[in-house]
Amino acid sequence: MPSEIDAQAAELLEEYVRALTSGRAVDVTELLSRCAADQRERLQDAIAGADLLRSSYEPYLVRPELVERSQRDIAALRAARQRLDGARSRLAECLPRGILRGQTIQGLLESILGVRTQPAGPAAEQPLGSPAFEFRGARKIDKAAFASQARLEAAAREAAREADRVWQRAGAPDPPIDPRAIADMLGIIVIEHDTEGCDGCAMLHEDLSAIVVNAQVTHEGRKRFTLAHEIGHCLLHGKWHQFIHESLRDIECSWASEHELGANVFASELLMPAELVTADCGHEEPSFDAIDSLAGKYGVSRTAAARRLVDTSDFACALLCVLEDTVRWFTKSSEFPKSYRIRRGEAPPHSSDAASLLAGEDERGGYWETDAAWWLEGRHVPDDLVLLEDSRLIYGDHVLTLLFMKEVPEGA
């Protein structure tokens, strides 16, 4: 009989420990009353020991609510992987039939996902390489198409929050962050394939998402940013779009649209988390040397690195994208006076380095003084305010311009 009594006391102790680890309150008096009289003292000593262990190691234990959330995440991940495996099986069946050759992008993705959808526009029905896939709006910019600054800022905040959530869910990895691993975690199918005129596209159908990235893009940083950008579309814009196709210049230059800005901000925040970038170069004077260093460490393009450096800078600076003689978009650091408005949608100043580069002249390299009134508008811009300009040619008709204000006027 003594062994049976020992077993009963051990069972009651186990019940007590289970209750503790699940966060439930335990009535120790009631528990002892269920124990044989000659074992109560030993059980009470064991409970005291368990309490001591708990108080010593509780900071290192996983909370029950975290365990529950983790279990939900694991279940969601398993479901996503099942969808991914099914899509990959369909892809394997399609490949022998040459599905990747001579077909529209939408047809390709529909074959992989096993669904039929209505195209988002006439361009979705065009074959790869069709002029319909050329950079939208590059030849003629309609000022009325620019979204208001308030709407753009709201889209940027939403995208930044979503990117941080995804980065944290991935375990807050150090750079360079792998967007393919992120896509896999999210259950998004990624296909790298030779395409003409389209460097990134995404298709969304219910809970299935697929992305095609152009294998002909040789710059790994641009390819990574393209993939992260399309992941942003999948997470942020699935309610509005079923099919999205873009060129590299769509992705790097289209910051005047809420959806494009949102996808770009998502990609920037995901590949270059603010807390890491700020620690690296947030306190360093803005320069293209710092931009190139950032691009190398985080594995992104110069355009993406330049935006991120300015967005996190402690200095009064701004970055402008000049495309085909028009300031397409800009971003300013928090230290750049909000009352100074940059002239978006207009040509760069005739005597600026940006205009010289677009005219085919050689790159100067480094900052040069420029008249602030050329770039800024508003009643509060002093006549004698001097900005420093450094412009670099990215593509044949695409210039990045850094504006740096070393001294901010009082009251600005």
Identity of the amino acid at 106: Q
pTM, full prediction: 0.63
Q: Tokens 């900071």: give the residue.
A: 59
E strands, 237-373, in order: 243-246, 316-323, 326-332, 341-342, 368-371
Quick one: which of 356, 353, 381, 386 has its CA closest to 369? Answer: 386
Can you give the pLDDT at residue 280?
Answer: 84
Each residue's pLDDT expressed in tens, for the chain with a length of 412 residues: 344 447 777 888 888 877 776 667 788 888 888 888 888 888 888 888 777 666 655 544 445 555 565 566 666 666 666 766 666 665 555 544 444 444 555 566 666 555 554 444 333 333 333 332 222 223 333 444 445 667 777 888 899 999 999 999 999 999 999 999 999 888 888 888 777 667 787 877 666 778 888 888 888 888 898 899 989 988 887 655 555 556 555 555 555 567 788 888 899 999 999 889 888 886 889 999 999 999 999 999 888 899 899 988 999 999 998 987 888 888 899 999 988 888 888 888 888 999 999 888 988 889 999 888 889 987 778 888 889 999 999 877 789 999 999 888 876 6
Q: 102 in the Ramachandran plot: left (φ > 0), alpha (ψ -120 to 50) or beta?
A: left
Question: Cα(404)–Cα(374) distance, rounded to whole angstroms?
Answer: 14
User: Distance between CA atoms of 134 and 250, rounded to whole angstroms?
Assistant: 9
CA-nearest of 184, 178, 149 to 77 is 184
Q: What is the pLDDT of residue 41?
A: 84
CA distances for 58 relative to 22, 87, 196, angstroms: 12, 44, 58
Q: What CA–CA distance (Å, rounded) separates 209 from 234?
A: 7
Judging by DSSP bridges, how do beta strands 189-193 and 208-214 pair with one another?
A: parallel
Q: Taking each helix axis from N to C terminus, what angle separates 288-298 and 302-311, rounded to the nearest 10 degrees? A: 110
For 38, residues 6+ apart whose C-beta sits below 8 A from its C-beta are 5
Say if CB 108 and CB 215 are below 8 A apart. Answer: no
Q: Note whether 105 and 119 are within 8 A (CB).
A: no
The terminus-to-terminus CA distance of the chain in angstroms comes to: 88
- pLDDT of 188 reads 87
Euclidean distance between CA atoms 224 and 201, whole angstroms = 13
